[in-house]
A and B are shown apart, each in its own frame.
Chain A
């Protein structure tokens, strides 16, 4: 199975989305997917900060916004230095589409219902991205520095997923 198919399968399990079936991901495509994935979580955090009244959810959202913005900043300076131009692709488009649907759903909620849904979405989203990183993006990256940044990203997303799972216990 090609790496993109693995990625598409990993994403589809959680999101049910259909993804483009390019045979192989290039570094510019991988960079675009990773950057998009980070930006989606920053945007979700901004929505949470505008809506939540729960102090722990607020702290978590602030951390998500800061950590993912920091990684994306590193990614941008890396692609600039490597002279790589991130390239839009079916996978990043699929992520963006799914995120828009999740946002629409979350916007309608408020109070504890919003907190629960936001945290549940964070768990599922981080799990999806972790799977994509470990099965497709990291093995697919050609440049060593890009691969290393994605590996740091995987460690970060994994820590965030665990954090969100613990948070879910308190917003029940």
Chain B
């Protein structure tokens, strides 16, 4: 299990009142990998955040794509190659192969 990104906070004391300023976690972007084999997307990585990158590794002898239905990325994957994209949008992203309608997956992207 990957460690959760650290959350840093700063505390300020003004006139006896404690105000917590919580900065949203901006951990270093991470890279993830998804295997494509026998006409299927392998398991999607968990804990993907906006700004992270995903390597799509095509093990099949034919060309695929890893395409976000919301058009936020579209990676062309010739046979036995890999391609990379950066995740730019949070939420549930439906992923398809533009050539093979049976190939679908769902990626959860955290903000």
A residues apposed to B, CB below 8 Å: 63, 66-67, 70-71, 73-74, 149, 151-153, 155-156, 158-159, 162-163, 166
- A167 CB to closest chain B CB (Å) equals 10
Question: With the chains together, A12 CA to B68 CA distance in Å?
Answer: 43
Interface contact tally, CB-CB below 8 A: 41
**Does B39 sit within 8 A of A, measured CB to CB?**
yes
**Does B43 sit within 8 A of A, measured CB to CB?**
no
Q: Are A71 and B100 in contact (CB under 8 A)?
A: no
Interface majority SS (helix, strand, loop, mixed), chain B:
loop
Interface size class of B (residues with CB under 8 A): 10 to 19
Q: Are A66 and B38 in contact (CB under 8 A)?
A: no
Question: With the chains together, A155 CA to B59 CA distance in Å?
Answer: 12
Q: Are A70 and B39 in contact (CB under 8 A)?
A: no
Q: Are A152 and B101 in contact (CB under 8 A)?
A: no
Q: Are A163 and B39 in contact (CB under 8 A)?
A: no
Interface majority SS (helix, strand, loop, mixed), chain A:
helix
Q: Are B99 and A152 in contact (CB under 8 A)?
A: no
Question: With the chains together, A93 CA to B63 CA distance in Å?
Answer: 29
- B58 CB to closest chain A CB (Å) equals 11
Q: Are A74 and B39 in contact (CB under 8 A)?
A: no
- Sample of 4 more A-B contacts, CB < 8 Å, known A158-B39, A163-B100: A63-B100, A74-B79, A152-B60, A159-B102
